[in-house]
């Protein structure tokens, strides 16, 4: 099996995505998605941004490499009666069946950044966007002090070293790298805009319960827990993560943890 597919079919990311719904809705509103918008959401998960885009009236295709997330997305769309929203399995590095210049908005929020061949990803995102359309990405920022960058930093310290040739997904959070990759896909650097924005993880549960969702269902954290356990360091890792979630929480009741990301907008 494709290693990236195996990673994201591990666990159940829908449990983590449940804490991200409100921020997905806010992003869609901010992008001005409406009934005339034809949207492709790449690395869509179970529809954190695809579902609200469809609720705004857009025609939406969500593509994800993980079959379980595709099934979950289709179930959500069906339950909500969104007949112009569907999900299918696919690879951000090669969007098979996607017509050149088909979509008004090609969206990928914390999805395509994890695909293993970033230059191919940039070319594919540009290829399927209509002239005058937009590519919008949300990418975690390396070294950022907020939740997800720190979660991935801590997890990587306990995980086995990556394979030879591995390209860190966090490079998508560097504006100069993003500009270079889209330039390689034929986009003028002046048409690539990068700015910091915030996604917030919200839950009525305490931070310890939200952390449990990550340790039990989020593949990178699951892998780190397994590696730490094998090395006799599981308690050490869990203590670091508990401290991280407690410190980052801004709510006196439940959980509200902001995470800074790089919002990329590419005019095609």
Q: Judge whether residue 35 has pLDDT over 90.
A: yes
Locus of tokens 């995470």: 259
- Residue 198's DSSP bridge partners are 260
Specify the pLDDT at position 51: 98
| Torsion, Cα of 106, 107, 111, 115 (10° steps) | 20
- Token pair of 221 as six digits: 């954290």
**Residue 100 falls inside a structural domain:** yes
**Residue 251 falls inside a structural domain:** no
| Torsion, Cα of 140, 148, 13, 37 (10° steps) | -40
- Cα(91)–Cα(197) distance, integer angstroms: 26
**Residue 217 falls inside a structural domain:** no
- Cα(184)–Cα(98) distance, integer angstroms: 20
Q: Which residue has the higher pLDDT, 3 or 266?
A: 266
**Residue 152 falls inside a structural domain:** no
- Residue 165 DSSP SS3: coil
What pTM does this model have?
Answer: 0.95
Q: Judge whether residue 120 has pLDDT over 90.
A: yes
Specify the pLDDT at position 1: 59
235's CB contacts (< 8 A; 6+ apart) are none
Kindly report, residue by residue over 198-250, the tens digit of the pLDDT: 999 999 999 999 999 999 999 999 999 999 999 999 999 999 999 999 999 99
**Residue 160 falls inside a structural domain:** no
* Whole-number Cα distances in Å, 264 to 16, 54, 114, 140, 200: 23, 21, 15, 11, 18
Indicate the average pLDDT of the chain.
96
**Residue 120 falls inside a structural domain:** yes
Kindly report, residue by residue over 65-85, the tens digit of the pLDDT: 999 999 999 999 999 999 999
Mean pLDDT, residues 148-162 taken together: 92
Q: Judge whether residue 144 has pLDDT over 80.
A: yes
**Residue 104 falls inside a structural domain:** yes
- Cα(267)–Cα(104) distance, integer angstroms: 10
- Residue 268 DSSP SS3: coil
Kindly report, residue by residue over 90-113, the tens digit of the pLDDT: 999 999 989 999 999 999 999 999
Q: What is the CATH number of the domain that holds 97?
A: 3.40.50.150
Q: Judge whether residue 40 has pLDDT over 70.
A: yes
* Whole-number Cα distances in Å, 73 to 6, 18, 27, 48: 18, 12, 18, 9
**Residue 178 falls inside a structural domain:** yes
- Cα(195)–Cα(265) distance, integer angstroms: 9
* Residue range(s) defining the domain that contains residue 97: 3-142+166-202+260-267
Per the structure, how many domains does the chain have? 1
């Amino acid at each position: 099996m494709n290693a990236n597919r195996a990673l994201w079919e591990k666990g159940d990311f829908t449990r983590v995505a449940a804490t991200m719904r409100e921020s997905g809705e806010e992003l869609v509103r901010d992008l001005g998605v409406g009934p005339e918008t034809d949207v492709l959401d790449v690395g869509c998960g179970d529809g954190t941004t695809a579902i609200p885009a469809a609720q705004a009236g857009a025609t939406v295709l969500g593509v994800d490499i993980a079959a379980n997330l595709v099934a979950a997305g289709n179930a959500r769309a069906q339950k909500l009666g969104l007949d112009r929203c569907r999900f299918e399995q696919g690879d951000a590095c090669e969007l098979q069946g996607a017509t050149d210049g088909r979509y008004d908005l090609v969206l990928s929020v914390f999805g395509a950044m994890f695909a293993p061949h970033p230059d191919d990803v940039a070319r594919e995102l540009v290829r399927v966007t209509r002239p005058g359309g937009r590519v919008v990405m949300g990418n975690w920022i390396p070294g950022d002090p907020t939740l997800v960058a720190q979660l991935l930093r801590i997890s990587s310290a306990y995980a086995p070293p990556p394979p030879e040739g591995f390209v860190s997904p966090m490079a998508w959070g560097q504006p100069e790298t993003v500009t270079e990759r889209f330039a390689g896909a034929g986009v003028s650097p002046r048409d690539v805009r990068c700015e910091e924005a915030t996604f917030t993880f919200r839950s009525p549960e305490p931070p310890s319960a939200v952390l449990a969702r990550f340790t039990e269902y989020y593949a990178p954290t699951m892998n780190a827990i397994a590696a730490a356990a094998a090395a006799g360091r599981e308690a050490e890792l869990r203590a670091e993560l508990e401290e991280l979630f407690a410190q980052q929480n801004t709510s006196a009741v439940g959980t509200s943890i902001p995470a800074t990301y790089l919002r990329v907008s590419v005019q095609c």
